[in-house]
Amino acid sequence: MPADKRMPREEMIRIASLYPKGLIIGNWANAGTPFAKDAYRIENGTFVVGAKCPSGNCTPIEAQKIITHPHLERSVAAVDEEEGIVVLWMNFGFTNSYGPGNALVTFEAFKVWGGEIHAVEAIFRVLPQETKRGWE
């Protein structure tokens, strides 16, 4: 990350939080989620979407279709201002997509600098929808 593109902690959190806002409403454009032109996402170690797609044929992250997650819960797990990283814990809540009584539960690391999200790395599992974060 260029040193002159570093951001204050609270601004990094605000920008990273626009990602779950998009998940809640089902649209990152309407949430105002600022993805960088080179933004990409990795899920459980697999590249899934964005500009650095290994196959060269992936959808831009902001154009990916997403369902609404009206019951999504999130909390900030970690922030590193020097590296431009914000880690959010999220429980996507009930969407009728992950099996009866289940939800997608994630830790997602966001590379945030210069006012944009440059990368997202998600580590997730399907767990009971009532799963809470271990550290309140």
Q: What is the pLDDT of residue 135?
A: 66
Strands (E), 14-128: 35-43, 46-50, 73-80, 85-91, 102-113, 116-128
User: Cα-Cα-Cα-Cα dihedral of 42, 119, 117, 92, to 10°?
Assistant: 20
Question: Between 46 and 2, where is the model more confident?
Answer: 46
Q: What is the pLDDT of residue 57?
A: 72
- How confident is the model over 127-135, as a mean pLDDT? 88
* pLDDT tens-digit series, residues 78-112: 999 999 999 999 999 999 899 999 999 999 999 99
* pLDDT tens-digit series, residues 46-72: 888 987 777 777 788 888 889 999 999
Helix, strand, coil % (nearest 5) of the chain? 20, 40, 40
pTM above 0.85, yes or no: yes
| Domains of the chain from N-terminus onward | 3-128 (3.10.450.50)
